[in-house]
Structures are given as C-alpha cells and as structure tokens.
Structure 1
Amino acid sequence: MGQVTVRVGGYSHPVSCEDGQEAHLVALAAEVDKRVNSIKAMGGQFGESRLLLLASLLLADEVHDLKVAVAQARTGGAGAAEAEDPRLAERIARIADRIEGIAANLDRA
C-alpha cells in the first residue's frame, strides 16, 4: 500500500493509497489546495475543517456542473440534465451533511 504526505491549506496530511496511485493522489490534493487557497483569498477566518468543507462543496459544485454538461451533450439538450438535477441536489446535500459531520469531529480532535 502506497503512502504519501499531501499539503492542503498549509497543513500536511499523510494519506494511504493503492500502489502506483501516489502521483494521482498528490494531484487531487493540489486541486483541493487550490480551492482552499481561493477561499482564503476571499478573506475571513476559517478553521481547517471549515476550509476543507467549503473546498469540498466547491468541488462538488464543479462535479455537478460537469455531470449536467455531459448529460446535455448526450441528449443534445437540457431535458436529461433537468431530470437529473433533483437527484444530484439530494446527493450533494447528503455529501454536505457528511462533510459537516467530519468537520465537527475534526474540530473536537
């Protein structure tokens, strides 16, 4: 099992991954770090868990937009994307709830 240390938001995090996936994991962490830095640039004081929550929501929003675009491209119109929106919104809400729970646990640690 591979192991890498990634930096996100100025903090180092050791993370395990499948062998051979180390570079991919580092690239993913760099994407998260980019979102964290954009949030920091907006100003305000956020703890690490809140920054990671907001960065996760930004990434989830980007994934949603990409899924809608792919659905539109497949159907040649907006019909399939509009039908899929409620399910995606529910999934994002559930993911956000899970992230909030993780963030709350991080705050206690």
Structure 2
Amino acid sequence: MGQVTVRVGGYSHPVSCEDGQEAHLVSLAAEVDRRIHSVRSMGGQFGESRLLLLAALLLADEVHDLKIEVAQARAGMPGQSAPDPRLAHRLTQVAERIERIAAGLEQGG
C-alpha cells in the first residue's frame, strides 16, 4: 500500500493509496487545492470544513455535467458528437477512483 503526503488548502495530509497510484493521487489533491483557491478568491471567510465542502461541490458539479454529457452521447441525442467509448470508459474509471479515494478518506486515510 502506497502512501503520500498531499498539500490541500495549506495543510499537509498523509493519504494511503494503491501502489503505483501515488502520482495520480498527488494530481487529484492538486485539483482539489485549485478548487479551494477558487472558493477563497470569491471572498468571504470560510472555515476549513466549509471550504472543503464547497470545493467538493464544485468537483461534484463538474462530474455531474460530464455524466450528463456521456449519457446524452450514449443516447445519440441530436447535436451531440458521436460518443467515444474510450472516453466514457475512462470517465467511469475516474468516477470509481474518486469514490474509492473518498471512501478511504472517510475511513481516516
């Protein structure tokens, strides 16, 4: 089992992951950190849990939009380009990986 320390919102967090997934996890944490900086740039004072919640909601909104696009592409809706099965498969893998990481974080890393 691999372990990395990621920096999100100015704090370091040790996180376990599957061997070989360390770089990917660091990349995911960087994306979360970018969202946190985005929320902070909106102004206002947020506690850390609120900041993480808002960043998670931004990411969840993006995943939701992508799922709708994939569903529309699979359904062959007018105005949509032909679905790329590799993209749909990759999005499914990414969503599953995010869910595994979230479950791991809920269990204490």
Fold conserved between structures, TM > 0.5: yes
> Which structure's residues are more often helix, by fraction?
1
**TM superposition score normalised by structure 1:** 0.69
* 2:31 is aligned with 1:17: no
Instruction: Name the counterpart of 2:45.
Output: 45
C-alpha displacement of 1:2: 0.8
SS in 2 for 1:5: strand
Write out the 4+ residue segments of structure 1 that deviate beyond 4 Å after TM superposition: none
Task: Spell out the pairing of 1:81-92 with structure 2 (5 A cutoff).
Answer: none
**TM superposition score normalised by structure 2:** 0.69
Instruction: Name the counterpart of 2:57.
Output: 57
Q: Within 1, Cα distance between the matches of 2:20 and 2:48?
A: 28
Q: Within 1, Cα distance between the matches of 2:48 and 2:25?
A: 19
**Residue type of the alignment partner of 1:56:** A
Q: Within 2, Cα distance between the matches of 1:21 and 1:34?
A: 20
Is there any run of 5+ residues in structure 2 with no aligned partner, and where?
A: 79-105
**Residue type of the alignment partner of 1:12:** S
How many residue pairs match? The answer is 79
Over the residues paired in the alignment, what is the CA RMSD in angstroms? 1.3
Instruction: Name the counterpart of 2:28.
Output: 28
